[in-house]
Amino acid sequence: MEKIAKEQIPKEVANIVKAFEAYQKEANSHGLKTVQSRRYQALIDLTREEIGEIDLQAQESVERYQEFKVEEARLKTIFLNARKELKNLVGISTTNPANLTRDEHKKIYEDLLKVYSLCF
């Protein structure tokens, strides 16, 4: 029995070493997968944060755009009112220089000189 045990022990130890190596290989593989999984989760979290920042910037851009649109409308109203006032002041039907006659150009110039000379 001792002889059989001495013959079997190296085989059993070899089997144990093989089993341990397989277990160690599996543990290493599992460890790598865990590390990769955590790395991917960290990338996902970072991407979500970046998306959140981009969404916030987009929202701020939309708000600024709306503010600019309101300001544009306000300035357009001021311009249209000033143009209307100019037409009434000078007595012309259009402010488009291409549609004005030579006499209208001369009248506008003279009327504007009168108005501005009174201001200074």
Residue 102 maps to a domain: no
User: Are residues 90 and 111 in contact, defined by beta-carbon separation less than 8 angstroms?
Assistant: yes
What is this structure's pTM? 0.51
What letter represents residue 89's amino acid?
L
Domain interval for residue 65: 2-91
Angle of the 2-90 helix axis to the 102-119 helix axis, nearest 10 = 90
pLDDT in tens, 46-98: 999 999 999 999 999 999 999 999 999 999 999 999 988 878 877 777 777 77
DSSP state for residue 93 in the 8-state scheme: S
Cα torsion for 30, 34, 35, 41, to the nearest 10°?
160
Number of domains in the chain: 1
Residue 51 maps to a domain: yes
